């Protein structure tokens, strides 16, 4: 019973690993774009806080 379950899981991953090369570098570009967008949004938010005087200063 457990052998059948593990074989099924292994077969599922085998099909997944056959599909991954078709994605190629596109997934890397997707993650780079997402990270860049969040970095820009975070920077804009920080400048907005500084402009309103809500900046946290430790001194």
8-54 tens-digit pLDDT? 999 989 988 888 888 888 989 999 999 999 999 999 999 998 888 88
Q: Does residue 34 form part of some domain? A: yes
Q: Does residue 27 form part of some domain? A: yes
Q: Determine the structural domain holding residue 28 and report its residue range.
A: 23-53
CA 52 to chain centre: 31
Global pTM value: 0.57
Q: Does residue 4 form part of some domain? A: no
**What 8-state DSSP symbol labels residue 59?**
-
Q: Does residue 49 form part of some domain? A: yes
Overall number of domains in the chain: 1
Distance (Å, whole) CA 23 – CA 26? 6
Neighbours of 58 (CB within 10 A): 3
Q: Does residue 43 form part of some domain? A: yes
Predicted local distance difference test score (pLDDT) of residue 43: 95
Predicted local distance difference test score (pLDDT) of residue 18: 85
């Amino acid at each position: 019973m457990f052998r059948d379950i593990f074989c099924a899981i292994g077969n599922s991953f085998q099909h997944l690993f056959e599909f991954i090369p078709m994605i190629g570098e596109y997934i890397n570009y997707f993650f780079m774009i997402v990270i860049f967008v969040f970095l820009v949004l975070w920077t804009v938010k920080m400048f907005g806080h500084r402009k309103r005087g809500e900046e946290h200063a430790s001194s």
